[in-house]
């Protein structure tokens, strides 16, 4: 498995009329990019791209990092992060203020624990950072200028729950002094699951997750004030189940958030933004059925959302209003790389196996085909009318 990855370059014409270049990394697991709240691909200050994913090693899922020096056209497997022979997955990446690359993942030697490694010139020896014997999973990492935040959802034994555990969002902070004692981000007596996190200008650090509130799950958001987490705020509507949260902060400081929202039994994708001190009303991005939403910012306030359906991975861009969706291709579990343009990493079926796909989210720059057709009708009709008026009597 270690060594140069097999790479294929493919040109796909989108139904919207745009074209996509895809780079395929073969021989990964069907959940190679599972974890929509996690950062799976990142751009290093050197210009190199790094991607984290799960792939089979000796018949066991393992966590690897790949590196590209040419913008994603070719990739080389750089490191096996997890321990050989022990199942692992749910990898995530983050850069700290000093340009060091951090990786987190879940090691399933027992119930599941969060592990961490950092890359300077080479990768450090991995270490377990979630304390005790209890489950910890779905880690999310975000850095500010002082250190690295790692959040996960942890299970604490509690006989009051039908599944025997209480789920909370936990947080630890890595500084020059080492790891802090984990504290709680979520509040309340109901289960909190699958955190996501993002950082923006002025050291803004925000986390979100979904938490049961009475009869439904709702999206909760909390901000780090420099010393601790503020009281969470609920964003999603009170009557609809809301799960699978993802967020990004744009260069201008706008917090973008998407989640899977159920209307009845149909899961769709919703979006809201935090700007000027308040959250916008949720918008429907995909009516569904849709799952695994992710979001990333471009420039000038533009933002891209992607998700998966039974047909594959789709995306839309918001630039004042949402564009028509583009289809990137078959597959599941998209992850986004912010930039201009945003790039998409996802897991795609290949026969009886799976491969990793990477492509820019290319949206048509001009009017859609329907608009062009309408303009043509108007022009032709106007021309005929003009000729009719000029006909000699």
pLDDT bracket for residue 264 (50, 70, 90): confident
Q: H-helix or E-strand containing 374?
A: helix 369-390
- What number of CA atoms fall less than 13 Å from residue 119's CA on the CB side? 18
Q: For residue 51, is pLDDT > 60? A: yes
Residues ≥6 apart with Cβ < 8 Å to 263: 240, 288
In this prediction, residue 299 carries a pLDDT of 84
Percent of the chain with pLDDT over 90: 75
Rounded to an integer, the average pLDDT of 48-73 is 96
The span from the CA of 178 to the CA of 52, in Å, is 24
3-state secondary structure of 194: strand
Q: For residue 214, is pLDDT > 60? A: yes
Distance from chain centroid for Cα 356: 15
Is residue 253 within 8 A of residue 204, CB to CB? The reply is: yes
Rounded to an integer, the average pLDDT of 229-243 is 95
In this prediction, residue 23 carries a pLDDT of 59
Q: For residue 14, is pLDDT > 80? A: no
The span from the CA of 188 to the CA of 375, in Å, is 56
Q: For residue 383, is pLDDT > 60? A: no
The span from the CA of 53 to the CA of 87, in Å, is 13
Is residue 158 within 8 A of residue 109, CB to CB? The reply is: no
Q: For residue 17, is pLDDT > 60? A: no
In this prediction, residue 165 carries a pLDDT of 73
Q: For residue 387, is pLDDT > 80? A: no
pLDDT tens readout for residues 119-172 = 998 999 999 999 999 999 999 999 999 999 999 999 986 656 656 678 999 999
Q: For residue 318, is pLDDT > 50? A: yes
pLDDT bracket for residue 341 (50, 70, 90): very high
pLDDT bracket for residue 372 (50, 70, 90): very low
Is residue 122 within 8 A of residue 65, CB to CB? The reply is: no
Q: For residue 388, is pLDDT > 70? A: no
DSSP 8-state code for residue 373: H
In this prediction, residue 376 carries a pLDDT of 38
Mean pLDDT of the chain: 87
Task: Please tell me which residue, 81 or 14, carries the higher pLDDT value.
Answer: 81
Rounded to an integer, the average pLDDT of 47-57 is 97
What are the percentages of helix, strand and coil residues in the chain, rounded to 5? 5, 55, 40
In this prediction, residue 189 carries a pLDDT of 72
3-state secondary structure of 20: strand
Task: Please tell me which residue, 192 or 17, carries the higher pLDDT value.
Answer: 192
pLDDT tens readout for residues 282-310 = 999 999 899 999 999 998 889 999 999 98
pLDDT bracket for residue 386 (50, 70, 90): very low
The span from the CA of 329 to the CA of 306, in Å, is 12
């Amino acid at each position: 498995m270690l060594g140069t990855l097999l790479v294929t370059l493919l040109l796909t014409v989108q139904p919207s009329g745009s074209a996509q270049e895809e780079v395929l990394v073969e021989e990964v697991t069907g959940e190679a990019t599972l974890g929509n709240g996690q950062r799976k691909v990142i751009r290093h200050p050197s210009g190199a791209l790094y991607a984290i994913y799960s792939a089979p090693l000796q018949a066991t899922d393992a966590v690897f990092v790949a590196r590209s020096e040419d913008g994603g056209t070719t990739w080389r497997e750089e490191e096996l992060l997890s321990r050989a022979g022990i199942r692992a997955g749910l990898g995530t990446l983050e850069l700290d203020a000093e340009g060091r690359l951090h990786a987190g993942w879940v090691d399933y030697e027992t119930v599941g624990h969060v592990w961490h490694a950092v890359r300077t010139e080479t990768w450090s020896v991995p270490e377990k950072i979630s304390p005790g014997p209890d489950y910890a999973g779905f880690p999310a990492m975000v850095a500010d200028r002082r250190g690295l935040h790692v959040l996960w959802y942890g299970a604490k034994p509690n006989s009051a729950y039908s599944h025997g555990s209480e789920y909370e969002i936990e947080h630890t902070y890595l500084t020059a002094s080492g790891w802090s004692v984990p504290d709680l981000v979520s509040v309340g007596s109901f289960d909190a699951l699958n955190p996501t996190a993002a950082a923006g200008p002025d050291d803004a650090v925000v986390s979100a997750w979904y938490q049961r509130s009475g009869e439904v799950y709702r999206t909760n958001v909390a901000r780090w004030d420099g010393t601790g987490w503020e009281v969470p705020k609920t964003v999603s509507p009170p009557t609809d189940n809301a799960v699978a949260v993802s967020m990004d902060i744009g260069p201008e400081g706008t917090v973008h958030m998407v989640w899977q929202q159920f209307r009845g039994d149909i899961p769709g994708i919703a979006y809201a933004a935090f700007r000027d001190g308040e959250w916008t009303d949720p918008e429907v991005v995909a009516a569904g059925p849709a799952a695994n939403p992710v979001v990333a910012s471009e420039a000038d306030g533009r933002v891209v959302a992607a998700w998966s359906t039974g047909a594959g991975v789709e995306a839309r861009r918001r630039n004042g209003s949402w564009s028509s969706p583009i289809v990137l291709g078959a597959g599941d579990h998209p992850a986004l790389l912010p930039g201009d343009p945003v790039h998409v990493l996802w897991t795609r079926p290949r026969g009886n196996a799976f491969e990793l796909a990477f492509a820019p989210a290319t949206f048509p720059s001009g009017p859609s085909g329907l608009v062009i057709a309408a303009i043509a009708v108007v022009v032709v009709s106007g021309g005929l009318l003009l000729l009719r008026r000029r006909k000699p009597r």
